[in-house]
Chain A
């Protein structure tokens, strides 16, 4: 029972990391129809800026340093995402093949530049000392960092919900997901909403990059790869454009993967792909996605 609980909470923690990667992807695809393969590079940029702040600026590993790394990593990734949208993507709306080619190119270039600069080896991200602590629930000892991942994911979900439900830009984004042309016909510059979504998506990915690095015990230019793939799977299962759907899907995937890997080592990825196939067959719009009219 304790192992069952431990794996379950660890799975939720892993799901939280998937959600941080997938939230931006979901919004970016849902609103703009942009298949953004450069999203992983936002995560990597956030991770490296977080590493730079923790190791080069602060020289001390404590809670505030780590919070600063998350915020700065998020801001840097958000700004990088904004630049990518303004300079490249904004010229390629409605040109989906070109978008895919260019964003794959950006991901490769960012990975190569960072690898050339820092090398491909894992570089240790300083974390607060309490990261190695555990919390006892019953007789299960849960690593305390898992609760941080879950907490940050919940904060992001809440912030997203508040932004989308109660702000003017959120109203524009929700309307834009349904019908971009009509939003423009009402006199609203949808592209401003697009840029905002890219920034928010990049910020979430950047924060996710720092947390993924903490989870993986280090930063590397290659760190985004598997998380980006899982991010896409989460978006498809949760429903394109639905952030709550992404949250639900990320949690389901994290938990199922952890249980599958424990009870049948190595089976986790297969089970997730099986789940993806099942959702695509039975509910192609995803768990909380809407069928486009």
Chain B
């Protein structure tokens, strides 16, 4: 069973054709990694799914079309989005950031999950989010996605720009929620992808060029050919 189906997704921005017929599926209760070099359209794909970019093609959530819907309705349907640059509300406190994102104040289970995953956010509840470190801001961004019972979470490069220790913390948190939720994860950090992803999609120049299991990530030649980086281990 697939939570998300994307078929023949095309995005044009200012006459530039960014996505060319992108097609893939995200199975339920799995982590699907969306990989590729910089600028191949991974973030654009997530934004198009969220309705943040105009697009053509078919996007289905649990078999229901969400293409053309307004962004807030797509989110209400159960798609959470953690953007690449976190986009936390800097002038609001940590508590206000989470409160704003919470759709059901009575869902104490989700709130407890967030507090258990990120206890630091509880102690910093009254602090303005803009004064947090990069890692703490990332925790707020991920926590905002986890405070609701969503069908799928789209996460764009959650470890980008973080210190190694914080990368481990964020990776641990994602690892803990990975089994309980469905994720479409854009990430350059291959060790993290190998650790939590069950499916891999590779994009190149706005197209999907590979879909399959994560086994190939252990093959350095495949990794170099597909992603242009070293990192595989035979």
A-B interface contact total, Cβ < 8 Å: 55
Chain B: interface residue total (CB-CB under 8 A):
21
Whole-angstrom CA separation of A62 from B55 in the bound complex:
61
The stretch from A33-41, A118-126, A168-176 touching chain B is A168-176
Instruction: Find residues 170-207 in chain A having any chain B CB closer than 8 Å to their own CB.
Output: 171-172, 174-175, 178-179, 181-190
Q: How far is the CB of A79 from chain B (nearest CB, A)?
A: 25
Given contacts A171-B100, A172-B100, A179-B87, contact A185 B92 (CB under 8 A): no
CB neighbours of B91 from chain A (8 A): 174, 178, 290
Of A183, A189, A293, which contacts B100 at CB under 8 A? A183
CB neighbours of B70 from chain A (8 A): 184, 189
Whole-angstrom CA separation of A174 from B81 in the bound complex:
20
Q: How far is the CB of A171 from chain B (nearest CB, A)?
A: 5
Whole-angstrom CA separation of A183 from B81 in the bound complex:
11
Given contacts A171-B99, A171-B100, contact A188 B72 (CB under 8 A): yes
CB neighbours of A175 from chain B (8 A): 89, 92, 96, 100
Whole-angstrom CA separation of A181 from B83 in the bound complex:
11
**Is B52 touching A181 in the complex (CB atoms < 8 A)?**
yes
Contact pattern, B 17-57, Cβ under 8 Å of A = 1, otherwise 0: 00000000000000000000000000000000010100000
Q: How far is the CB of B126 from chain A (nearest CB, A)?
A: 13
Contact pattern, B 102-145, Cβ under 8 Å of A = 1, otherwise 0: 01000000000000000000000000000000000000000010
Q: How far is the CB of B102 from chain A (nearest CB, A)?
A: 9
**Which residues of A are interface residues toward B (Cβ below 8 A)?**
171-172, 174-175, 178-179, 181-190, 290, 293
CB neighbours of A183 from chain B (8 A): 100
**Is A187 touching B103 in the complex (CB atoms < 8 A)?**
yes
CB neighbours of A190 from chain B (8 A): 72
Whole-angstrom CA separation of A172 from B89 in the bound complex:
11
Of B52, B90, B96, B101, which contacts A186 at CB under 8 A? B101
Please name the residue on chain B nearest to A192 by beta carbon: B72
Whole-angstrom CA separation of A92 from B71 in the bound complex:
18
Whole-angstrom CA separation of A293 from B87 in the bound complex:
11
Residue B65 lies at the interface, judged by CB distance under 8 Å to chain A: no
CB neighbours of B99 from chain A (8 A): 171
- Max count, chain A CB within 10 A of own CB: residue among B71, B75, B148: B71
